[in-house]
A and B are shown apart, each in its own frame.
Chain A
Amino acid sequence: MNWHRIHALALRHLYPLKRDFDLLSDMIYWPLVDTIVWGVTSQWITDASGIASAATGILLGLVLWNVIWRSQAEVARNLLDEIQNNNLVNLFSTALTVKEWLVSVVFLSVIKTSITMAILLPAMYLLYKINVLQQGLWLAVFFLGATVTGWWVGFLSAGVVLRHGLRMQTVVWTFPGMLLPFSAVFFPLDRLPAFLQPISRVIPTTYIFETMRAIVAGLPVDYSLLAYSFGLNFLFLTLAIWYFIRSFAYSKKLGLGRFNT
């Protein structure tokens, strides 16, 4: 593992932040719009339902969903960015290894997610007097679970693009969206139609959001489900990395140059 090369890749994706409004809007503008819309909606739901924890639960759900979204986006969209810039051959005709690329995108996902959070969390406090940092160490647990989910979703969709080409790039946007209704992000699992609940039970994020709601509502936490969630998450991450590495090797059999436009 060569840290100069990881540093190089980090610069590759941090330099454009100085001037690229597309990237800034993804990192800051849309999360802020979500916060305003969902903040008002959740307060209305709280007033209408009389459930005091509803607003905090929904906004914390939004925060964690943003963590998942940003983590996966950094992994999969970095690959797309290299492909669209005809830069894949440039990078991998140097000493750069796939492992170093993996480490760099994971590192970038942490940095960019942190930037988004540094905007979102104060905005929530200023607009709605909701301080998600009050969840203390639990917040770190939820962030870890959400980040790992974002990584495996990102590696899986990046692997699909490497294997099947740019015609499959839509998975980068649609795959995380597929998880959203099944992850009990904004509503409890038992509100999902019964025939869909088995799907939710094999998705690790379901238990993260269920635990988050229990904590916010002051209910007891089922630690075994949380452990199950982390077990699933790390299993999926391992499988997704394995799939990505296999897809990279497959792609090299056809030539990384085939992506050049």
Chain B
Amino acid sequence: MQPILQTTNLRKVYPPEKKGGTEFVAVDGISFELEPGQILGLLGPNGAGKSTTISMLLGVLTPTSGEISYFGKSFEANRSEILNQVGFASTYISMPWRLTVWENLRIYALLFDIEYTEFAKRAEKFLTKFGVWDQRYKMMNQLSAGQVTRIMLAKAFIPHPKVALLDEPTASLDPDIAHEVRRFVREQREQYGTSILYTSHNMDEVADLCDSVLFLRKGKIVAHDTPENLAGSISKAKVRLQVVDGLKRIERFAREQSLPATIIEREVILEIDEQKVAEFLMQLADEDIHYSQISIDKPTLEDYFLSMSI
């Protein structure tokens, strides 16, 4: 099946800011594909190249080298035709402050060739879904950050795009609205087959939403897999014990076994290879260490993120 979006050896090098300075490689030859209907997460620490990549995919930053194609067509040669099918929302971008929500959305609908009656129908649907229908005649500068974010999402999806590039779309939202947004994103994929490239700093959200994750570091792709497999590549589980008797013994035991341990009052948190948890619990019994509570946290995408971000 032909990918919706494909990059080949995409690279962006910024020139030195001052004479005699060094150039900065923001994106270093990345190649990836976004499949039809796929939600692909773009993860990485600050400065990894996520925003640079999205800017190049939107055509607001010229790549130094490499190719971008959408729907099998060169982005460079078919920019307008392609962007007419691409929606974009970012927490870091706003819309003109001196216009109302309705005026702003009307303008963006026109930029996508959408007639007024169709626009009004879609705008009502999306603004109602995001709980901001009552705000439609307010100026953008009268809205909260969370409301602006929701308006930006409505802007991105009013054209029913084939591809949506969403840059931290839930960053400033309350948990219940963020949950609603995630449900909405899934609905868009299911109803319209929209393919989505999604960046977020919320690992639970990425794990919940994305079919696949690209992990970027220093401009390179260092991993590309499902969230489950990435989390699974971290073998350490976290074992939390509420120790009743034997706190000193468990501290000594952890030191002898070179197990990373954190002790807060009577709670002990140990990082142990998942395969060795059973053996560890038997050793605790042998050492006569008593505990009242135990929980074992399996590795998560966040653990992967933290391990890769160092």
A5 to chain B, nearest CB (A): 5
Q: Which B residues lie within 8 Å of A219 (CB)?
A: none
Whether the pair A85, B113 counts as a contact (CB closer than 8 A) is: no
Given the complex of chains A and B, what is the CA–CA distance between A89 and B111 in angstroms?
A: 13
For the complex, is A87 an interface residue (Cβ under 8 Å from B)?
yes
Given the complex of chains A and B, what is the CA–CA distance between A92 and B59 in angstroms?
A: 8
Contacts between chains A and B (CB distance < 8 A), count = 101
Q: Which of A11-19, A150-158, A231-239 lies at the interface?
A: A11-19
Given the complex of chains A and B, what is the CA–CA distance between A9 and B106 in angstroms?
A: 11
Whether the pair B61, A20 counts as a contact (CB closer than 8 A) is: no
A98 to chain B, nearest CB (A): 11
Whether the pair B60, A8 counts as a contact (CB closer than 8 A) is: no
Whether the pair B113, A4 counts as a contact (CB closer than 8 A) is: yes
B77 to chain A, nearest CB (A): 14
Whether the pair A87, B112 counts as a contact (CB closer than 8 A) is: no
Q: Which B residues lie within 8 Å of A90 (CB)?
A: 88, 93, 95, 108, 155
CB nearest to B12 among chain A residues: A255
Q: Which B residues lie within 8 Å of A43 (CB)?
A: none
Q: Which of B62-76 contact A (CB under 8 A)?
A: 62
For the complex, is B103 an interface residue (Cβ under 8 Å from A)?
yes
Whether the pair A85, B111 counts as a contact (CB closer than 8 A) is: no
For the complex, is A94 an interface residue (Cβ under 8 Å from B)?
yes
Whether the pair A95, B93 counts as a contact (CB closer than 8 A) is: no
Q: Which of B45-67 contact A (CB under 8 A)?
A: 51-52, 55, 58-62
CB nearest to A13 among chain B residues: B96
- Interface size range of chain A in the complex: 35 or more
Given the complex of chains A and B, what is the CA–CA distance between A8 and B119 in angstroms?
A: 13
Given contacts A249-B62, A255-B55, contact A95 B95 (CB under 8 A): no
Whether the pair B107, A95 counts as a contact (CB closer than 8 A) is: no
Whether the pair B111, A94 counts as a contact (CB closer than 8 A) is: yes
Whether the pair A95, B103 counts as a contact (CB closer than 8 A) is: no
Whether the pair B110, A8 counts as a contact (CB closer than 8 A) is: yes
Whether the pair A93, B80 counts as a contact (CB closer than 8 A) is: no
A145 to chain B, nearest CB (A): 33
For the complex, is B253 an interface residue (Cβ under 8 Å from A)?
no
For the complex, is B142 an interface residue (Cβ under 8 Å from A)?
no
Tell me the count of chain B residues lying within 8 A, CB to CB, of chain A. 35
Given the complex of chains A and B, what is the CA–CA distance between A2 and B103 in angstroms?
A: 20
Whether the pair A4, B110 counts as a contact (CB closer than 8 A) is: yes
Given the complex of chains A and B, what is the CA–CA distance between A3 and B249 in angstroms?
A: 78
Q: Which A residues lie within 8 Å of B58 (CB)?
A: 89, 93
Given contacts A93-B86, A95-B80, contact A15 B60 (CB under 8 A): no
Whether the pair A254, B14 counts as a contact (CB closer than 8 A) is: yes
Whether the pair A2, B113 counts as a contact (CB closer than 8 A) is: yes
B140 to chain A, nearest CB (A): 9
Given the complex of chains A and B, what is the CA–CA distance between A127 and B99 in angstroms?
A: 36
Whether the pair A257, B51 counts as a contact (CB closer than 8 A) is: yes
For the complex, is A7 an interface residue (Cβ under 8 Å from B)?
yes
Query: Which of A2, A7, A8, A85 contacts B94 (CB under 8 A)?
Result: A85
Q: Which B residues lie within 8 Å of A82 (CB)?
A: 96
Whether the pair B107, A93 counts as a contact (CB closer than 8 A) is: no
Q: Which of B250-305 contact A (CB under 8 A)?
A: none
For the complex, is A54 an interface residue (Cβ under 8 Å from B)?
no
Q: Which of B100-133 contact A (CB under 8 A)?
A: 100, 103, 106-108, 110-113
Whether the pair A15, B99 counts as a contact (CB closer than 8 A) is: yes
Whether the pair A93, B88 counts as a contact (CB closer than 8 A) is: yes
For the complex, is A96 an interface residue (Cβ under 8 Å from B)?
yes
Whether the pair B98, A16 counts as a contact (CB closer than 8 A) is: yes
Query: Which of A15, A94, A254, A260 contacts B108 (CB under 8 A)?
Result: A94
Q: Which B residues lie within 8 Å of A7 (CB)?
A: 110
Given contacts A15-B99, A257-B55, contact A86 B93 (CB under 8 A): yes
Whether the pair B93, A260 counts as a contact (CB closer than 8 A) is: yes
Query: Which of B51, B79, B84, B99 contacts A16 (CB under 8 A)?
Result: B99
Q: Which of A86-138 contact B (CB under 8 A)?
A: 86-97
A-B contact pairs, 7 of them (CB 8 A): A11-B106, A20-B98, A87-B96, A89-B60, A94-B111, A255-B52, A256-B60
Query: Which 6 residue pairs spanning A and B have beta carbons closest together?
Result: A8-B110, A93-B58, A95-B80, A255-B61, A256-B60, A95-B84
Interface residues of B (CB under 8 A from A): 14, 51-52, 55, 58-62, 79-81, 83-84, 86, 88, 90, 92-100, 103, 106-108, 110-113, 155
Interface residues of A (CB under 8 A from B): 2, 4-5, 7-9, 11-12, 15-16, 19-20, 81-82, 85-97, 249, 252-257, 260
Extra A-B contacts (14), CB below 8 Å, given A88-B60, A254-B14, A260-B93: A2-B80, A2-B113, A11-B103, A15-B107, A87-B93, A89-B55, A92-B60, A94-B83, A94-B84, A94-B112, A95-B81, A95-B84, A96-B111, A249-B62
